[in-house]
Structure formats: C-alpha cells, structure tokens
C-alpha cells in the first residue's frame, strides 16, 4: 500500500513540508481544512479507503470481502463499497437502512449482533438480506416465524473456536468468556447447527467466527481454522450436509505508530488459503468459500483527526496540553488504553521537544488522548495537532458527553474537500429535549 513521507500510520497521500510544518492529505492542507471546517475535524482520504478495499479484493479474489460498518459508516462510504465490489456487514437497523437508502445491494449485506431486536430481524427478512448471522438459539425460532412459508433465509451460525486474539481483553471475542457466539467445546454450536438444519425455512450457508480486534498477526486465524473445519466435517458426517462457506470475521490490525506492525492482506490471504486447504484435505472436505470482514483495516488509516490547542499548563511535574476534542469524539484511549500518534501541524515548531500529556476538554480525569506525547517545547494555545489512523472506531463510537456537539467528517480527494457528516450543533442537541414547561 506504500507509505507517505509522514510515516506509516498516515494515509499514503500525506505529504509534509518540514520547513513550514504544512501537512497535506490527498492534496488538501490540513491546517486550511481546520480553518474552513473548524475543529475538531475528521479528514477522510477517499483514495486511501478505495486503495485498501482493492488490496483486499485483489488478495482474496475468490472470497467475499465484507466491510464492517461499525468501524465507520456514511452514505459516501456505502457508495465507495458498492463501487469497489465489496460486501457490507451491519449490526443495527439504522446501519441496515442507511445501506439500503444509499443503494447497496441487499444480497451483499450481512446482519450481525448478539442481541438482535425483533424489528431488526423482521426488517432484514423483509429486505432479503444476503446472510443473517445467528448468535444464539432463540434467534432460530424468531427467524423461522418471520420467514414466509415458501421462502428460505440464508443464515450462518457464529461459533466460538476458543482462540484468544486482540490487543485488549475488551475486544477479544474468540474465547468462551465473552458474550458472542456459541461454544464449540461445550457443544452449543453443534446443537444450534442441528436446529437450523431442521428448519426448512432456513438455509445454512456455513460457520462464522470473529476472534477479536486489532489483530496484527495471522497466527490466531491459522489456529482457528482446524477447529472450524473439524466442526464442518462433523456436520457432514452426522447430517450429510457440506457447508459451502466459512466466515473468519475481521479484526485485522493497523499501525497507529511508525514502529507498529499491521496485518497485510496478501500475507493473510496466502497463509489462510494454505492452512484452509490443508485442513480440508485432512477431513476430505471441499474448500469452502471464504468470507472476511475487515473494517478498521480499510477506514482506519484513511482518517486524520485535527484538534486545536486551547490551553498549556504545568501541574506538578507534568505539562498538560488541552485540545478542543477528546474522549467524546475518540473514546478509544479511555476504553482500550489506545495511544495515538500526534504531531504539530500548520507551523514549524521549536527544534527541541518535551514529553507532555495531551488531554481533552471533557470533565473526566481519564480524558487523556496521549499520556506521553513528544511535542515541540513552544506548543501554545491556537496551535493545531493532528492524529493519524483516526478513521475507525472514533466517530462511530462518539458521544455528546457534556452536551458537546460531535465533529464533522470531511472527505478529501484530488485536492478537493467535501463534508460527509456535518458538524452537530447545540440546536441539534437541544431539539431532543421535549419538555417545554
């Protein structure tokens, strides 16, 4: 995918002029974007997103590559996915309806969720969603009741292969001690598969699993494959059914700093294909069609967040640099201990640097964006700071804590910028309060 001259976490199109501190992404000056659209602002490189989508499609030409909407979704992103030939997995009614409104083919949609509402299931069946991933046995009866008598709904069953993976315990979902999926070891997965096979209104396509998030090595996926294929072989032996698909989920990790590893699509594809073929030969199975669900890996490196410094002060032995955003628009540091890269943009700073704590504006002591940032010693109020790899799980997890409106998302391409999501306003927030007495 190449590298920009700003370092690997930045979009490939990023360029820096050290003499003046200017940083551009897709030909758009980030400082000028901050002046035009205000701060905080999220800048999303459309070309980077499309290039990464194509890299997955090229590495996995015979697989279905489904973008995980939870990372970040908008009408424009849906259009990019449609045009690049990807699938899309959604996990709420609003994500589903946004995809349909934006013209995404329903047969390329996958519905996820450990606790889908009756309305979500009803809407998915009505629209003819391509795959519904069953996460618990209660969903089987609910789906059967919703599917018309002479129709069939294609489903997968999410199983737990017992493989731990992910950068933080809160995002490891391949083991027994979390809320997703049905256990292979305890027999719950096989029981659910038997129940689905007994329902003529359900068409069982295959198994689904998701090991966790921010996985930067292919090894956990390779460890899961033998267990999944063995389960597929047992279903064939006991029920005479060969499942045609295997969904390995997503969670593909990216670099947030220049020295961090990332999971590369080609390496992932080659290793997975080799191990899947080996496991299928061992059990006498034909190789199932593979489905993968990257989200962060597509949109994360395409995003840059830009903040304005509001205050600099020393408290005890620490220097705090406070910006006009924080845990409301980027909860990842507070939730997962994430540590984004950060740099001064828009001007050339002092040659000397010092270690500072970059904090947000919200009324929480835990609102710390970067606890040990290296910034120029002359950083001051009014300066602009930018963090790369900001496209995933920041705006999509944002809140209105302290009744602070959420930032806009601006797409950039070919030197042009356009707003995808407008800045939320105080009026937007107050309009929900209906007590006029």
Q: Just list the catalytic residues.
A: 363
Under 8 Å between Cβ of 285 and 232: yes
- CA dist list (Å): 74 to 2, 87, 171, 393: 26, 15, 24, 13
Parallel, antiparallel or unpaired: strands 22-25 and 28-29: antiparallel
Q: To which residue do tokens 């699938």 refer?
A: 87
Contacts of 69 (CB under 8 A, 6+ apart): 88, 89, 90, 91, 95, 99, 295
The neighbour count for residue 94, using CB atoms within 10 Å, is 12
What is the CA 298 to chain-centroid distance, rounded? 8
CA angle 107, 112, 113 (to 5 degrees): 155
Q: Calculate the CA dihedral of residues 70, 74, 77, 81 and round it to 10 degrees.
A: 70
| Nearest in space to 209 (alpha carbons), one of 135, 285, 111 | 135
Distance CA 81, CA 126 (A): 23
Helix (H, G, I), strand (E, B) or coil at 352: coil
Handedness of CA 171, 177, 179, 185 (dihedral sign): positive
Q: What are phi and psi of 292, to 5 degrees?
A: -130, 155
């Amino acid at each position: 995918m190449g590298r920009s001259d700003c370092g690997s976490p930045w979009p490939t199109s990023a360029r820096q002029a050290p003499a003046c501190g200017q940083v551009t992404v897709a030909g758009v000056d980030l400082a000028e974007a901050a002046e035009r659209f205000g701060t905080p602002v999220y800048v999303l490189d459309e070309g980077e997103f499309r290039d990464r989508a194509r890299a997955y499609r090229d590495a996995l030409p015979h697989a279905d590559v489904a973008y995980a909407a939870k990372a970040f979704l908008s009408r424009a992103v849906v259009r990019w996915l449609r045009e690049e030939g990807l699938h899309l997995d959604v996990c709420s009614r609003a994500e589903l309806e946004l995809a349909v409104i934006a013209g995404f083919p329903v047969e390329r949609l996958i519905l996820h969720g450990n606790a889908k509402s009756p309305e979500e299931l009803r809407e998915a069946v009505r629209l003819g969603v391509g795959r519904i991933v069953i996460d618990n046995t209660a969903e089987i009866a609910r789906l059967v009741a919703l599917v018309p008598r002479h129709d069939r709904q294609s489903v997968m069953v999410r199983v737990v292969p017992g493989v731990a993976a992910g950068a933080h315990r809160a995002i490891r979902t391949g083991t027994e001690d979390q809320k997703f999926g049905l256990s292979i070891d305890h027999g719950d997965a096989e029981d659910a598969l038997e129940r689905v096979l007994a329902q003529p209104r359900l068409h069982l396509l295959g198994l689904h699993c998701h090991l966790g998030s921010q996985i930067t090595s292919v090894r956990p996926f390779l460890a899961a494959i033998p267990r999944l294929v063995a389960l597929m072989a047992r279903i064939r032996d006991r029920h005479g059914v060969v499942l045609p698909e295997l969904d390995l989920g997503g969670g593909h990790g990216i670099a947030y700093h220049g020295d961090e590893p990332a999971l590369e699509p080609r390496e992932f594809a080659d290793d997975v294909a080799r191990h899947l073929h080996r496991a299928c030969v061992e059990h006498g199975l034909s190789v199932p069609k593979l489905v993968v669900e990257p989200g962060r890996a597509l949109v994360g490196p395409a995003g840059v967040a830009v903040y304005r410094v509001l205050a600099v002060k020393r408290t005890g032995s620490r220097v705090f640099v406070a910006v006009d955003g924080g845990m409301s628009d980027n909860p990842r540091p507070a939730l997962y201990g994430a540590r984004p890269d950060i740099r001064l943009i828009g001007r050339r700073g002092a040659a000397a640097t010092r270690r500072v704590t970059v904090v947000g504006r919200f009324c929480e002591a835990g609102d710390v964006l970067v606890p040990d940032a290296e910034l120029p010693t002359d950083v001051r109020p009014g300066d602009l700071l930018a963090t790369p790899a900001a496209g995933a799980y920041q705006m999509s997890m944002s809140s209105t804590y302290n009744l602070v409106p959420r930032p806009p998302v601006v797409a950039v391409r070919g030197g042009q910028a356009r707003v995808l999501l407008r800045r939320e306003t105080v009026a937007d927030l107050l309009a929900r309060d209906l007590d006029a007495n």
